[in-house]
Chain A
Amino acid sequence: MGKTLAEKILSENSGSDAHAGDIIIARVDLAFLQDGTGPLALRQLEESGLEQIANPERVVLFLDHAAPSPSLELANDHIILRQFARKSGAQLYDVGEGVCHQLVVESYANPGEVIIGADSHTVTAGALGAFATGMGSTDVAIAIALGRTWLRVPESFNVAVSGGFTKGVYAKDLALHLIGRLGADGATYKSLEFSGEAIANMSMTGRFTLANMAVEAGAKTGLFPTDEVTRAYLESRGRSALFRSLRPDPDAKYERAIAIDASSLEPMVSKPHAVDNIALARELTGTKIAQVFIGTCTNGRLDDLAVAAAILSGKRCHPKTRLLVAPASREVLREAISAGYIQTLLEAGAVLLPPGCGPCVGVHQGVLGDGEACLSTANRNFRGRMGNPEAHIYLGSPATAAASAIAGEITDPRELV
């Protein structure tokens, strides 16, 4: 019987013949923490009494969620993480370096690896063919010490995307469409495995967006086969030697097959307060937007800023709408400056935030007021997510975000591109 990508990676990793449903002990190739989950993980690590760190080169701490710190409590949490890195030899990315998932794909993730992070969007690295999944602080703490974790080999859904995207429609729209179709728990415990023409032609940026949002359907991981696009990306990151060709067996057994024609998709928006509460952007015309946020581990990459800058070039944000932009990493910011995107966005009225999570998780920088609505390029719109349970969050692509910033209300970007 053929194997899915998940079964292949986990079989090789554990040196066993792993099939969906099996419990395996996996070698952890990369374990990471961020500033919201890291302090608890370090307390648990200490409590466990385990003194060793299996592989400090492959343990990474990111200060990204509350960066720079908005409060004394979080500043003290940051001290704990910095001290641990110094003492253990673990890698540290301090405030301003960017969002953990972007830094993981820029500098660490490789095809065939098992990656666990104390953050649910760890799934992002699945775009590079890594079995990457989020866990809580205790699980990651133990993996840091032992270099191992237990995993249940997931059943897989084959998401086959045919056709090509039409103008103004992006991987984000596909992600929202897919989650709307599956439901927020439609893929719980499963691996989403992507295939088809639209996936083969998709840039790494688009693949990262799609993999990132796999968890919004409950999935354990979102996996892409590796190809020339993967190879070129790794090469650009100085990791060409780590490229490996990975694809599922032709007779792999999938629990479910989902077929989507990319050419039939339109710009999509998730409405409050659930990611699977989707609508077409054009159906929401007239919905006033007080704040637009472009950034996050979903859509804060160079190509995303390029799309937004192209739409906002020579235009101004609506007088009743503020636009916040947080590049996903320092490198994205530097490249966006070189390419002129930042200049364009600033001229359009954008507020530039430091690389990091920005207002995504309600800690600081752009907390919404009562009754205000935000159109965000993030991955979640749960009640209270951006710091105020009385606010409303809509999710869309960078193009939809930019178009809505100009109009001051939700706008189908095809009117402008």
Chain B
Amino acid sequence: MLRGKAFKFEDNISTDDITPGRLFHLRSNLPELAKHVLEDVAPSFGSMVKPGDFIAAGVNFGLGSSREHAAIVLKMAGVEAILAKSIARIFFRNAVNVGLPVLICDTDKINDGDELEIDLVGSIVKNLTNGTKLPIGEFPEVMLRILEEGGLIPYIKKHGDFES
């Protein structure tokens, strides 16, 4: 069970919004890069987000570049899970690979600052602020297994390969 506060974002948040190209030189200095997370769209986000909080976005979250740094810095900033109406393909894989849950649900029912409780096993998001219950969309089995191990690297360390 995860519990935290939602930070609401619009549709089409790109990986350039999360980790802009002008900070390209910080990609091998992730703690420094993480200080700038989402600063062009939400300058106060980095200082307000607390460990355990969530992002609740619209459609196509994480579109654009393949930079996995985007998923990593969100996690480093304390984001516990990303909820969105839809997620761009590469970002989806990247988030799972770094152990950051990405959940598809109807985020129209979530407002900025709402308290959420997420039941990953029961596949339900409870909005404690307005009392709504939002079902979570289906997740490919292989991604669930990777997420359960905390990401692709721990998964491979344990299993050695994809099949086992």
CB pair A189–B89 under 8 Å, yes or no, is yes
Report whether A136 and B24 are in contact in the complex, using a CB–CB cutoff of 8 Å: no
Q: A150-B162, A185-B60, A383-B40 are in contact. Are A73 and B29 (CB under 8 A)?
A: yes
Give a binary string over A285-317; 1 marks a CB under 8 Å from any B CB, 0 the rest: 000000000000000000000000000000000
Choose, from A5-13, A33-41, A164-172, A235-243, the stretch at the interface: A33-41
* Residue pair B94, A136 in contact (C-beta under 8 Å): yes
A5-46 contacts to B (CB < 8 Å): 23, 25, 36-37, 39-40, 44
| Least Cβ–Cβ distance between B19 and chain A, in angstroms | 10
Contact A135 B93 (CB under 8 A): yes
Is the Cβ of A185 less than 8 Å from the Cβ of B86? yes
Minimum distance in angstroms from B12 CB to a CB of chain A:
6
> Which residues B131-164 have CB closer than 8 A to chain A?
140-142, 151-153, 156-157, 161-163
The yes or no answer to B113 lying at the interface (CB within 8 A) is no
Contact B14 A382 (CB under 8 A): yes
Residue of A with least CB distance to B70? A136
Of the 9-residue stretches B1-9, B45-53, B61-69, B118-126, which lies at the interface with chain A?
B61-69
For residue A407, CB closer than 8 A to chain B, the reply is no
The docked-state distance in angstroms from the alpha carbon of A401 to that of B93 is 35
A25 to chain B, nearest CB (A): 5
Is B16 in the interface zone, CB < 8 Å from A? yes
Inter-chain contact A120/B65, CB cutoff 8 Å: yes
Interface of chain B residues 60 through 113 with chain A (CB within 8 A): 60, 63-69, 71-72, 86, 88-90, 93-94, 97-98
Interchain Cβ contacts within 8 Å, total number: 147
- From 166 to 189 in chain A, residues with beta carbon under 8 angstroms from any chain B beta carbon are 184-185, 188-189
Q: Answer whether residue A361 sits at the interface, using C-beta atoms and an 8 A cutoff.
A: yes
The verdict on A49 contacting chain B, using a C-beta distance below 8 Å, is yes
Q: Does B27 contact A (CB under 8 A)?
A: yes
Complex partner residue of B22 from A25, A50, A135, A388, CB under 8 angstroms: A388
Query: What is the interface size of chain A, counting residues whose CB is below 8 A from a CB of the partner?
Result: 57
Is B17 located at the chain interface by the 8 A CB criterion? yes
| A385 interface hit (Cβ, 8 Å) | yes
The one of A23, A188, A380, A389 in contact with B88, judged by C-beta atoms closer than 8 angstroms, is A188
Could you tell me which residues of chain A, from 59 to 113, have a CB within 8 Å of some CB in chain B?
Answer: 65-66, 70-71, 73-74, 76-77, 80
A135 to B96, CA, bound (A): 12
Q: Are A65 and B157 in contact (CB under 8 A)?
A: no
- With A142-B156, A384-B21, A388-B22 known as contacts, the answer to whether A185 contacts B67 (CB < 8 A) is no
* Minimal Cβ-Cβ distance residue in A for B85: A185
In the complex where A74-B24, A139-B152, A146-B161 touch, is A382 in contact with B17 (Cβ < 8 A)? yes
Instruction: Give CA–CA (A109, B41) in the complex, Å.
Output: 38
Contact yes or no, A36 B24, CB < 8 A: yes
> Are A23 and B141 closer than 8 Å at their CB atoms?
yes
Interface residue from A73, A119, A139, A189 paired with B26 (Cβ < 8 Å): A73
Contacts of A185 in B (CB 8 A): 12, 59-60, 63, 86, 88
Q: Are B89 and A384 in contact, CB atoms less than 8 angstroms apart?
A: no
CA distance A158 to B97 in the complex (A): 31
Judge if A138 is at the interface, Cβ distance under 8 Å: yes
Report if A66-B24 is in contact (Cβ < 8 Å); known contacts: A48-B153, A138-B94: yes
- Of the A-B pairs whose beta carbons lie under 8 Å apart in the complex, a sample of 7, sorted by A's number, is A36-B27, A36-B67, A73-B28, A119-B66, A136-B97, A361-B65, A380-B64
